[in-house]
Structure 1
Amino acid sequence: CEETLNGNDVCVKVDRGNCKGFWHPSCFVCSECKELLIDLIYFTKDGKLYCGRHHAECFKPRCASCDEIIFADECTEAEGMTWHIKHFYCSECEQSLGGEKYIVSDGKPFCIHCFDAIFSEYCDTCGNPIGVEQGQMTYEGQHWHAVERCFRCSTCHMPLLGQPFLPRQGLIYCSVRCCKGEKPSNQRSTINIFIVLLGIVK
């Protein structure tokens, strides 16, 4: 209340945290519920007093699984959420995820195996699922493994990783010639070989 304490006034002395000073007993209350804190365990934070319950509710995290306040010093944090260690398990198979690789989707943690089984896209070339730990190429709802045997021209099978490609009717091609189903021209390759041979002769 910032009123002056007289020499004969009963007061409460706080000598820890950032609430150091003297308080009237009637002023020594929780900043949230106004409960008197005399003879109770109290906490201080940012210049305010709190009872144990409201300090926990205001500053302790809640478990994303059970929605209970986490009082333990150890917990698991991921994607801005927190779990009791014993509650951090795969949402599908309930395998413990402590120390394991996992993915959080829609606020739920999954082990890699279950995530792949539920959410994997299928490769448009080989038809197999594309695991989360595998590379993936995506174009307008189509998906391919990011490997030469899958992301390739539909006509000549030339790998297209890192190359421009021509999408047509759900397929990809390296050129207009391949898109038309024509055999790729070897003229450029012949010229390149000829130039290399000339260089060797010189």
Structure 2
Amino acid sequence: MEQNYHKDHLACHNCDKKLVACRYILKEENPYCIPCYQEQFAHNCEECKKPIGPDYKDLSYKDRHWHEFCFKCFECQKSLVDQPFAPKNENIFCSDCHDDKFAARCDGCEKPFRGVFRHPDVAGMKKFEYRGKQWHEECFCCMVCKEPIRNKSFIPRDQDVVCVPCYEDQFAQKCSKCSGVINKGGVAYKNQPWHKECFTCTNCSKELAKEKFTSRDEKPFCASCYGDLFAKKCCRCSNAITGFGGTKFISFEDRNWHSDCFVCSKCEASMVGRGFLMNEGSVLCPDCGRS
């Protein structure tokens, strides 16, 4: 200690025991015999409750101390020296025992999630959570192809999940015309789904999503094509009588008129709801007919 003593004066700082030819330990620059050092400064072991003397390694964790040979798993008694461990309920456990007793379990395989413990070489498992359940990365799988979802997009299906390719192949609506998957903007017609761009007039291929249309033999036609191809023609204006927009029309002996066109051919008075005469295909009111 870079100081000089008579041999009778080199003594324990606590009990004055002579230390010549004896083992002693310095504490705060004062010498102590082994029994006094253990009594005043040594930590008591959490396991065996005995002092951890200078002849033993003192292993500590959060103000708790153990002999090296007492630092064991509470469950399996395996030594935890240089091993990953975890505390629980005032006890310490090896990683396997801790996970088996306390770790959350996967809703797929029912095995525990292995945690990240106090060891640089031990990595934790990824946990996927969805609708209050949790899975290992390799257990969170598509219900169809059974492949792990990982970072891919998925679509819920009842209580399961489906990856996008499997959903499109087996569950998604498909266009009645091109058979492609309808992701958005679809049109329903006669209980059949269509892409907006695929739902077109059978004759002119005009998109019908925002147009007036009707059908003929289960095929859709725009108002213009339907009128040109199939509708009756008005005997006065020769335009098609389609009925779009609630148009009313008059029929008489295989001849047809728009309601607005059903007028006397001479005085042009409306004949709707009135008696009329026919003269060589022309409609006449009674007054014009008598004259």
Aligned with 1:55: secondary structure? helix
Identity rate of aligned residues, in percent? 20
Is residue 2:217 matched to residue 1:102?
no
Q: Contact (CA 8 Å) 1:135, 1:146: kept in 2 or not?
A: yes
| Greater helix share, structure number | 1
Structure 1 residues 20-59: aligned runs within 5 Å: 20-24=132-136, 27-31=139-143, 33-39=144-150, 40-59=152-171
Q: Give me the TM-score of the superposition, normalised by structure 2.
A: 0.39
Aligned with 2:165: secondary structure? helix
Aligned with 2:112: secondary structure? coil
Separation of aligned partners in 2, 1:102 and 1:148: 23
Q: Contact (CA 8 Å) 1:56, 1:69: kept in 2 or not?
A: yes
Structure 1 residues 123-162: aligned runs within 5 Å: 129-133=240-244, 134-136=247-249, 144-145=256-257, 147=259, 161=273
Separation of aligned partners in 2, 1:138 and 1:20: 68
**1:60 counterpart (172, 189, 203):** 172
Separation of aligned partners in 1, 2:255 and 2:140: 64
Q: Contact (CA 8 Å) 2:128, 2:136: kept in 1 or not?
A: no
Separation of aligned partners in 2, 1:30 and 1:143: 65
Q: Contact (CA 8 Å) 2:248, 2:258: kept in 1 or not?
A: yes
Q: Residues 142-191 of structure 1: CA distance to partner in whole angstroms, max 9, x if unpaired?
A: 7844628759xxxxxx9575x9xxxxxxxxx99xxxxxxxxx9xxxxxxx
Which residue of the partner structure matches residue 52 of structure 2?
Answer: none
Separation of aligned partners in 2, 1:132 and 1:85: 25
Q: Residues 15-38 of structure 1: CA distance to partner in whole angstroms, max 9, x if unpaired?
A: 3xxx4411355643322x232124
Q: CA deviation at 1:88?
A: 3.1
Separation of aligned partners in 1, 2:172 and 2:149: 23
Q: Residues 58-83 of structure 1: CA distance to partner in whole angstroms, max 9, x if unpaired?
A: 55332232121122x33444444433
Q: How many residues align?
A: 154
Which residue of the partner structure matches residue 84 of structure 1?
Answer: 195
Separation of aligned partners in 1, 2:260 and 2:210: 33
Unaligned runs of 5+ in 1: 152-157, 164-172, 175-183, 185-202
Q: Give me the TM-score of the superposition, normalised by structure 1.
A: 0.52
Q: Contact (CA 8 Å) 1:136, 1:143: kept in 2 or not?
A: no
Which residue of the partner structure matches residue 129 of structure 2?
Answer: 14
Q: Contact (CA 8 Å) 1:43, 1:50: kept in 2 or not?
A: yes
* Higher relative contact order, structure no. (Cα contacts within 8 Å, ≥ 6 residues apart): 1
